[in-house]
Structure 1
Amino acid sequence: MTDTTAEPALKPERPFFSSGPTAKFPGWSFDKLQTESLGRSHRSATGKARLKYAIDLSKELLGVPEDYLVGIMPASDTGALECAMWTMLGERPATVAAWESFGNVWIQDAVKQLKLPDLQVLDADYGEIPDLASIPQDNDVVFTWNGTTSGAKIPNTDWLEPGRAGVTINDATSAVFAMEMDWAKLDATTYSWQKVMGSEAQHGMLILSPKAVERIESYDPAWPLPKLFRLKKGCKINRGIFEGATINTPSMLATEDYIAALEWAKSIGGRKAMFERADANAKIVTDWIEATPWLRNMVSDPAKRTNTGVCFVFQGDWYESLSDEDKAGVPKKIVKMLEERNVGYDFNGYRDAPPSLRIWCGGTVEQEDLKRLLPWIEWAYEQVKNG
């Protein structure tokens, strides 16, 4: 049994457990980045070639079908996802399904900004998923594959029929490179570099199926489109965006960092190896939660538990005896104590979630670092409880 009264002997070598931006890949350093594109125009042959290489390598590693388009977008996953919503929704009835904070942003976009007239809203508490089977197949649908702030993922895509009439818009930012995407059922998929690949923020990816391209080309929404969302040139999709001619000026330094992360992932075996690393990491944490009586996984159904941002809450007589304010202080105190000791950074639960801790388990994190972190959490909990 672990002695929780004395500080553990070992600290994680890389104490980075944030759920975004996440840990850099093992062995990362600045000298891993190529620099010939720095100080050059992103419109130069060199700049465009590096941007296209980032696109092509992403498409290869993710197993994206050949006839899908992959492009770099501004404003991270948010910009990519909202671009999909602004350019495709409104032609037919729509459903927006959410079970955590970011999915609720897409609900607010649909209700308050786009003001969609024929809208079904599905939501669920943290740790749960709404009844996705209730979504009409004719509806356009917006959903989050993996709830970044709740740790709840969809268990499958059985609720999406093949050849359905509506388009499917998928926020996959904390799922790609950790979970296999069912591309045949996905029309617009988005993610950001700073999630599972541990790269830099502010750049998003937009992946479009042929059906999504057809929707964009055949439909003009009633609302104004800012320049950052304009995917068409005339009546056709601007394919240059999906070949490295980005809508706005990207950071070439961030691009090189993302390329380095992709090349690392390819060198270890591609997305399958990334899946295996995330699965093994998550098992370490979820098994520990199950064996720790004063903790509970935020997601009760094992089939819906993520392998990336594992979220867990506190339970037990001592914790339940606290006021709501003191309950909220427990995870904050644990995180503060361990950050001060350089044991673990940024593994607090999301600000809108129930009081909790959230440990990132994606493929850039090492198993040994997770194994070393967990006894420290036990030690810190005892200090807070007995403090």
Structure 2
Amino acid sequence: MNVFNFNAGPSALPKAVLEKAQSELLNFKGTGMSVMELSHRSKEYEAVHQSAIDLLKELLRIPDNYQVLFLQGGASLQFSMLPLQFLKEGKIGNYILTGVWSEKALKEAKLIGETQIAASTKESNYTSIPEFSDLSFNKNDAYVHVTSNNTIYGTQWAEFPDITHAPLIADMSSDILSRPLDIEKFGLIYAGAQKNLGPSGVTVAIIRDDLLAENVEHVPTMLRYQTHAESNSLYHTPPTFAIYMLNEVLSWVKDQGGVEAIEKINKQKAKLIYDAIDESEGFYTGHAVKEARSLMNITFNLPSEEQNKVFLAKAKELGFVGLNGHRSVGGCRASTYNAVPLEACIALSDFMNSFRKL
């Protein structure tokens, strides 16, 4: 059966990566073992580990004064880990709310220290991204936190504010590696891998060296960024297979022409589906305002909930997977991450156009 995978995460992986992993599954690099069976201290695995770090630095043009860390616990653990490091007495964790995940990040920070909401679009049901002019800062901000892309509501920051008084920290779980980034705008970027980087199980953090110099003696050892930076993310057994897959995905991105080429294709994919929405004469209604639309998660509704159900049932029959909206908001959602091929988006656009004419 031909399947078009639009799952929001864990999501599609490049077919070429899956095929290579399959071919190496029982005998990695002549070891006679799967990469999952290798010691994380072996030279074969350490080569994979370092390659993944080096490729990410190359693809995102990460400056030398930043470290790449491989962590666990997903972005959800980062919601606690970062305020534990930086939200000290007399400091404020400043959060820009653009969806459920930024709300969850704020909730965890509140358990640790003082927080503030720099701006929020909750009153409009998160259909947009705040204007830079609406952001409210404090001289005592420990950091300013932003969620770059919002999987549930389908909005995305097109540009990021220039923050100079405190580090800008970003959860980029759902759009990292989908477009070029000015890394130097950020003190810390973190991302669960299961959207654009690889399978679930590994979390990438990109952290500036000066933030690693913070006094964190009060923080449990495993929850310190310093611990993982000092050991090249080998302080304890890392998720070796997930990092192996991450390395292969990064190699695939490089083979496609790098992040710039990936962004170009992502724009083509998203345009196909947004055009089907915009040209439907109101049959499909996008959730996000046009200027805030995500290139990764395209959210929309049909005229009624009953028609949503019929659409999703028919789509499933035809091999479209993962088009249901998040359980908290309903509707429909197409997640067009890097590994989703252009052909899948053409097929979905064609289906949407034919369905509304039934």
User: What TM-score does the superposition give when structure 1 sets the normalisation length?
Assistant: 0.80
Q: Name the residue aligned to 1:79.
A: 77
Structure 1 381/291 Cα, relative in aligned 2: closer, same or farther at 3 Å? Answer: closer
User: Which structure 1 segments of 5+ residues have no match?
Assistant: 1-10, 320-326
SS of structure 1 residue aligned to 2:169: strand
Q: Does the 8 A contact of 1:81 with 1:171 survive in 2?
A: no
Residue by residue over 1:71-102, the C-alpha shift from the partner in whole angstroms, topping out at 9 and shown as x without a partner, is 10002232345322321223522211121111
Shift of 1:187: 0.6
Report deviation, 1:44. 2.8
SS at match of 1:160: coil
Matched residue of 2:337: which SS?
coil
Partner of 2:32: none
Secondary structure of the 2:102 match is: helix
Q: Deviations over 1:255-298 (max 9, x none)?
A: 22221111111111111111111111011111111001211221
Q: How does 1:330-369 map to 2 (within 5 A)?
A: 330-339=307-316, 341-353=317-329, 355-369=330-344
* Residue 143 of structure 1: how far off its partner (Å): 1.1
Structure 1 CA distance, aligned partners of 2:179 and 2:292?
12
* TM-superposition CA deviations, 1:197-216 (whole Å, max 9, x none): 3x2102100100133223xx
Per the alignment, do residues 363 and 333 of structure 1 end up closer, same or farther by CA in structure 2, a change over 3 Å counting? same
Q: Provide the rounded CA distance (Å) in 2 between the counterparts of 1:232 and 1:367.
A: 41
Q: Secondary structure at the match of 2:210?
A: helix
Q: Which residue of 1 aligns with 2:136?
A: 135
Aligned length: 341
Displacement of 1:144 in angstroms is 0.2
**Candidates 374, 377, 380, aligned match of 2:349:** 374
| Matches of 1:206 and 1:183, distance apart in 2 | 12
1:308-355 deviation digits (Å, cap 9, x = unpaired): 11112234xxx3xxxxxxx2x54344323322x2420012111122x3
Q: Which amino acid aligns with 1:210?
A: D
Identity of aligned residues (%): 19
TM-superposed CA distance for 1:131, in Å, is: 4.6
1:263-302 map, 5 Å: 263-293=251-281, 294-300=283-289, 302=290
Q: Which amino acid aligns with 1:105?
A: K
Q: Write the deviation string for residues 80-132 of structure 1: whole angstroms up to 9, x where unpaired.
A: 45322321223522211121111111121122x22x23533633222222354
1:16 and 2:5 are equivalent in the alignment: yes
Matches of 1:80 and 1:107 in 2, distance apart?
11
Aligned to 2:55: 57
- Distance in 2 between residues matched to 1:30 and 1:79, nearest whole Å: 31
Unaligned runs of 5+ in 2: 30-34
Choose from 37, 53, 60 the match for 1:39.
37
Higher relative contact order (CA 8 A, sep 6+): 1
Q: Contact 1:26–1:366 at 8 Å: present in 2 too?
A: no
Counterpart CA distance in 2 for 1:374 and 1:248 is 46
Choose from 223, 232, 235 the match for 1:229: 223
**Does the alignment pair 1:117 with 2:111?**
no
CA contact (8 A) 2:212 2:225 kept: no
- Say whether residues 1:304 and 2:306 are aligned partners: no
User: What is residue 151 of structure 1 aligned with on the other side?
Assistant: 154
TM-score (norm 2): 0.86
State the match for 2:94 in structure 1.
Answer: 95
Shift of residue 65 of structure 1? 1.1
Measure the CA separation in 1 of the matches of 2:95 and 2:69. 23
